[in-house]
Amino acid sequence: MKKIDEYQGKKVLVMGFGISGINAAHLLVKLGANVTANDKATPKNNDIVDDLEADGIKVITGDNPISLANEGFDVVVKNPGIPYDNPLVAAFVKQGTPIITEAELGWQIFDGHLVSVTGSNGKTTTTTLTQLMIAENAKYQVKYAGNIGISFSKIAEDLGPDDTLVTELSSFQLLGAPTIHPHIAIITNIFSNHLDYHKTRENYINAKLNITRNQTKDDFLVINWDRDEWQKIAQRSQTTIVPFSRLNKSHEGSYVEDGMIYWRGQEVMQTKDIRLIGPQNVENALAAIAAAKLSGVTNDAIKKVLTTFSGVRHRLQYVMEYQERLFYNDSKSTDIEATEVALQGFDRPVILLAGGLDRGYTFERLVPYFKKHVKAMIVFGECKDKMKDAGNQAGVPVIESEDAITAVPEAWKLSEPGDVILLSPANASWDQFPSFEVRGDKFIEAVEELTGKKEQ
């Protein structure tokens, strides 16, 4: 941990009691700040409040009182999910109070080698693969943190100058990280996500590009080269561009040719040996390989990881096989693009479980994928009628169910040996579940109840 004094004696407001907010509040006390912690909700667990107050932190819950904007805070550390049009946040913006996220605080105290990953899809898998690959050859600590569910600042506290931290960073986090400077930045892809938060696609792209804003020619931006738009986006960075591509050969980075993965013209391994299924995971592997090779990792270490790693929970996660049916949990597929790539990963008939929060989208884009890959659909949630329309257009049998839990036995009734039963909702979970993680866990529990087996 790097010693800094910029928070000594400063008055800091932490907004949000998530994992990152709680850790940030305790860290700021160590850094000499006078800390107030605020959450709009009242925590069900009193231990959270008790721990904060025991550390000398003033705690305000049950509201974001606008009066806090008049208390002279020097800095606000905001939970990334709180939008900037929140009245209290907007008041701080208007008066010019610096607003950062916990990722920025983590960077400020970090004293080692930083690799950061962002993108619309594939962030967590790429982050995990990158960390595992670098750790295979490392003499010092290699950890991961960030949007992957582990506090950046908490991990950074325990790392020294020779250690490496691989961070997954969302667009929300990057908006509040003005000085973050990874040596290696990765952009997996950029689709049109979170426009309810960012308002426009250009705002979303600009937030993602904050990952490379402070990089120099001595650093690297590893970026997907499979779309012209992403190639143009790369030119907005001042750093050294390292492309990765499943579709386009480029000797400047990692790519696929005739089923073989290459790094700058040298063979690494065959794509068929990657344990993770689907073209999206080939792309995730290519991104991780580029970062690993830039970090000095050997081909043997890369092969070891890619031939053994079976996936991140809720991200096209293999659950089990039962009576010759394969169950997969892809609850993290909260947008259309993620479900597209999930379906492309299977050469068996798929019974698809899909639906969720209605954000106003329709699903015509999925019709060709339904026609090619899907045997039957079970739909649920607010957007089930729209999902059903797309299934009907594809000529796929569609059954309505209450949610992702009740859909499991319905899917089983429709299945035959050799089928895949896939939860890949193409929608957020918030109409029925507090998070995609809870939705995925409940799906797995339903599979276990149906089969009498535990996930593998």
| Residues 11, 20: Cα–Cα separation, whole Å | 19
Residue found under tokens 């900037």: 84
**Burial profile 354-383: b = 16 or more Cβ within 10 angstroms, e = fewer:** bbbbbeeeebeebbebbeebbbbbbbbbbb
- Is 90 exceeded by the pLDDT of residue 452? yes
**Across residues 15-33, what is the average pLDDT?**
96
The residue that leads in pLDDT, 221 or 345, is 221
Q: Given this model, what pLDDT does residue 345 score? A: 87
- How is residue 374 written in tokens? 């899907």
- pLDDT at position 312 is 86
Nearest Cα to 221, choosing from 112, 117, 104?
Answer: 117
pLDDT band at 78 (very low <50, low <70, confident <90, very high): very high
Terminal-residue alpha carbon distance, the chain:
38
| Tokens of residue 64, six digits | 């974001």
* 85 pLDDT higher than 90: yes
Looking at the predicted structure, is the pLDDT value of residue 45 above 80?
A: no
C-alpha to C-alpha distance for 258 and 276, rounded to whole angstroms: 19
Average pLDDT of every residue of the chain: 95
Quick one: 103-308 is in which CATH superfamily? Answer: Mur-like, catalytic domain (3.40.1190.10)
Q: Which phi and psi (to 5°) does residue 92 adopt?
A: -65, -40
Identify how many contiguous H helices and E strands the chain contains and give both numbers: 17, 20
Lowest mean pLDDT among 333-337, 396-400, 410-414: 333-337
Q: How far apart are CA 134 and CA 162, in angstroms?
A: 13
pLDDT band at 425 (very low <50, low <70, confident <90, very high): very high
Write the class of the CATH domain 317-450. Answer: alpha beta
Q: Express as a percent the part of the chain with pLDDT over 70.
A: 100
Task: Average the pLDDT over 343-352 and give the result.
Answer: 94
Q: What pLDDT does residue 385 have?
A: 97
Query: Among positive and negative, which fits the CA dihedral 265, 270, 274, 279?
Result: positive
Does the pLDDT value for residue 278 go beyond 90? no
Report the alpha-carbon distance of residue 38 to residue 57 in Å, rounded: 10
Predicted local confidence at residue 65, as pLDDT: 97
Is residue 311 within 8 A of residue 317, CB to CB? The reply is yes
Residues contributing to the annotated binding site: 119-125
Binding residues for ATP: 119-125
pLDDT of 193 over the 80 cut: no
245-255 confidence digits (pLDDT tens): 999 888 899 99
Q: In which region does residue 62 sit, left (phi positive, over 0), alpha (psi from -120 to 50) or beta (all else)?
A: left
Share of the chain above pLDDT 90, in %: 90
pLDDT tier at 196, thresholds 50, 70, 90? confident
* CATH superfamily of the 11-100 domain: NAD(P)-binding Rossmann-like Domain (3.40.50.720)
Mean local confidence (pLDDT), 264-287: 95
- Decide if pLDDT at 286 tops 90: yes
Q: What is the pLDDT of residues 102-145, one digit of tens each?
A: 999 999 999 999 999 999 989 999 999 999 999 998 999 999 99
| DSSP per-residue string spanning 122-172 | SHHHHHHHHHHHHHHH-SS-EEEEETTTB-HHHHHHT--TT-EEEEE--HH
115 pairs with which residues across the strands? 166, 184
Angle at 186 between CA 302 and CA 422, to 5 degrees: 70
What does the pLDDT read at residue 185? 98
**Torsion (CA) 234, 237, 240, 245 in degrees, nearest 10:** -20
The pLDDT value given to residue 265: 95
Domains in the chain: boundaries: 11-100, 103-308, 317-450
CB contact at 8 A, 103 and 78: no
